[in-house]
Chains A and B, each alone.
Chain A
Amino acid sequence: MLKNPSKIEISHLAKTFGSKVVLRDISLSIPAGQSLCIIGTSGCGKSVTLKCLLGLIAPDSGSIKIDGKETVSQSRTHREEMLRRFGMTFQFGALFDSLPIWQNITFRLRQNTYMSRQKAREAAADIVVHLGLEARVIDQYPAELSGGMQKRVALARAIADKPEILLFDEPTSGLDPITGGVIDNLILNSVRRLGATALTISHDMASVRRIADQVAMIHKGRVIWSGPSTQMFDSGIAEVEQFVHGHAQGPLTDEAILAAKTGV
């Protein structure tokens, strides 16, 4: 336990929007240098969990510790310091429309350290080439790129200054399998080589199998199963089995049908 302390420790996180309970009781722990994947049906609150971790959404209750330090309702200065150690991608890219790609990628690098234009462009070009894009895209604007290219640029922005904690919200959704594989490798590399701790939200089971050390499934605002990724196919929980095998019939869909019928 002491050898591998938790980098991220989420306990009893709860969040309600208006009358809609999204998170009831989420507890997760990620040891330093490990990669955790969160899975769960659409709308179960995966992105909300991630935003709570970043302090973008204030949870109603619960605690989030980074390196043992409580981060819920910490001061602004502490939060700003904390965020420098995070790299993240948002589900829909969230690239800055008004800035060319190279400025997007080096945005934080240039905020925090002085960096000449030339240097920044070179750094950006390096990263995009590494992600399988052509170097000339750095002068284009986000709107000029395809969805998959935007995903890769978002990833480039997240890892540009080698953060120690990586949060990815569906990094491979909408990508072809080959590019998806490239991105998976990149995440693995960051975790294995840079010693980063990663939390990835994904619907793509092939990718989960490749990148996850641990898997947690969220359902109805709770973590209904978590464990090593090697065991996710025989968890013994009907909901998890249905999800990881992608069956159309099962408890998850029955509930959805029932909910649609009764309107709850």
Chain B
Amino acid sequence: MILGLIRNIGQASLSFMAAVGKISLFTFAAVRWSVAPPFYGHQLGRQILDIGFFSLPVVGLTTLFSGMVLALQSYTGFARFSAEDTVATVVVLSVTRELGPVLAGLMVAGRIGASMAAEIGTMRVTDQIDALDTLSTRPMQYLVAPRLVAGTLCLPLLVLIGDIIGVLGGYLVGVYQLNFNPSLYLSRTLQYLEFSDITLGLVKAAVFGFLIALMGCYHGYHSGRGAEGVGVATTNAVVSSSILILIANYLVTALFFG
């Protein structure tokens, strides 16, 4: 019984290490081919449109309502020790440092991570990746590199826009529901906001964007055979990128802390 348990733990950690190794190699190759010519501008453009532009509604709605609820909740809390005027500051700091990047990251992980894994996975199981390879095109450069670059570039932009919308959500609730003075709320918003708060959020976003694209591509690229394989790849891409986002969020925050 105990031996079986030990064996299971052993096997699990071995396969975990193997997966880590495989992902590291994949990451290394992907980054290497992202910086070597030829560059497929058309592919990059398509990905930027898909990740950056078409994710705007999802990210906008998420941050809008998060900003709104944040204003309400922090008001409830801070009213208990008469610190209501900190609401604007709490909203802007939470949104830029934390909620903007994490929520946008998780939403995009669901949207883009899944679609990348499904698209590349389908190409894998229908031999399109093999066909690319035999037609003088490196799949890493044609498929993976544009997605990685687009993910890393687009997420910060999305988060920047999401930050603004989130703060706007807080403002709307603050002014129209909690009856703050509009100009006072705005000045409170900007008063304690530091440039580093925004950069922290954007650095996080870039890391998240990279991770989402990496997981989407990795799982799609190594998709199992058949439609079932693609389904598993899609789920794995979303789950693993979401978890990695939460872990990276802590690591980046800790790195910039103090």
Contacts and interface: CB of A to CB of B under 8 A. Distances in A.
Contacts of A111: 135-137
B128 A54 contact: no
B136 to A, nearest CB: 4
Contact of B128 (A83, A84, A96): A96
Main DSSP-derived SS at the B contact region: helix
Contacts of B128: 94-97
B130 A94 contact: yes
Contact of A112 (B123, B127, B136): B136
Interface residues of B, number: 13
Interface residues of A, number: 21
A17 to B, nearest CB: 11
A80 interface: yes
Contact of B126 (A56, A92, A107): A92
Interface in B119-145: 122-123, 126-128, 130-137
Interface string A57-95: 000000000000000000000001001101010111111
Contacts of B132: 96
Contacts of B130: 51, 54, 56, 90, 94
B229 to A, nearest CB: 14
Contacts of A94: 126-128, 130-131
A51 B134 CA distance: 10
A73 to B, nearest CB: 16
A63 B6 CA distance: 42
Contact of A92 (B123, B127, B136): B127
A80 B131 contact: no
Contacts of A86: 134
Contacts of A220: none
Given A90-B131, A94-B131, A96-B131, A84 B136 contact: yes
A84 B1 CA distance: 57
A108 interface: yes
Interface in A129-165: 157
Contacts of A88: 134
Contact of B136 (A80, A97, A157): A80
A97 B127 CA distance: 11
B112 to A, nearest CB: 16
B133 A56 contact: yes
Contacts of A90: 127, 130-131
Given A94-B128, A95-B128, 19 more contacts: A51-B130, A54-B134, A83-B133, A83-B134, A83-B136, A88-B134, A90-B127, A90-B130, A92-B127, A94-B131, A96-B128, A96-B132, A97-B122, A97-B128, A107-B137, A108-B137, A111-B136, A111-B137, A112-B136
**Can you list the 8 inter-chain pairs with the closest CB atoms, starting with the nearest?**
A94-B127, A94-B131, A108-B135, A90-B127, A111-B136, A56-B130, A94-B128, A108-B136
21 contacts: A56-B130, A56-B133, A80-B136, A83-B133, A84-B136, A88-B134, A90-B127, A91-B127, A92-B126, A94-B130, A95-B128, A95-B131, A96-B132, A97-B123, A97-B128, A107-B135, A107-B137, A108-B135, A111-B135, A112-B136, A157-B135
